[in-house]
Amino acid sequence: MNDDKASAMGRFDIGAIAASLPACADTMLVDRYLTDRPSSSARVFRVYRPTPAHYHEQCDEFLYVFSGRGTFWMGDASTKAEFGPGELLHFHRGVVHALPDILEEPLVFLSIDTPRRDPKDVIFVDPADGTPESFIRQSGY
């Protein structure tokens, strides 16, 4: 998480933050929190490999596609669709979703979670697909 100074700021350079994320990772995603309050959190994260079917119990997730292209589905794997820069994806809490294909890298999102998304709030439909620890790693400043 950010220190008090960084989390109190109200202006962020998303491009610079995206560029500071590592080129590779041992987790599916690496994120950096911009804000982290009980009512909401904002993060920038990079996706390194396809994410299997999962959901979040505690928050709704708004994902603004900053860079890259891929495919996603929500609720039903047969609804797979492509996404790209400038699009906003929205997943209600409890709705199963996945990002099965990375078509162009780096795949970076600005995420707004309401209420705050706890880093451990990820439930894989098939528990063999991962754990919160294999899903995401936080990157510090």
List, as one string, the DSSP characters of 97-119.
Answer: EEEEEEEEEEEEEEEEEES---T
Q: How far is CA 71 from CA 41, 53, 117, in A?
A: 24, 13, 23
Bridge partners of 112?
42, 62
Q: 65 with 101: CB under 8 angstroms?
A: no
Domains of the chain are: 4-138 (2.60.120.10)
Q: Write the pLDDT tens digit of every residue in 33-78.
A: 999 999 999 999 999 999 999 999 999 999 999 999 999 999 999 9
How does residue 6 score in pLDDT terms, banded at 50, 70 and 90?
Answer: very low
How does residue 8 score in pLDDT terms, banded at 50, 70 and 90?
Answer: low
Query: For the chain, where are the alpha helices, taking DSSP H only?
Result: 4-8, 14-20, 132-135
pLDDT at residue 7 tops 80: no
Q: Determine which of 47-51, 107-111, 133-137 has the lowest per-residue pLDDT on average.
A: 133-137
Q: 114 with 7: CB under 8 angstroms?
A: no
pLDDT at residue 4 tops 50: no
In this prediction, residues 81-107 reach a mean pLDDT of 98
Q: 70 with 81: CB under 8 angstroms?
A: no
Bridge partners of 41?
36, 113
* Secondary structure class of 14 (helix, strand, coil): helix
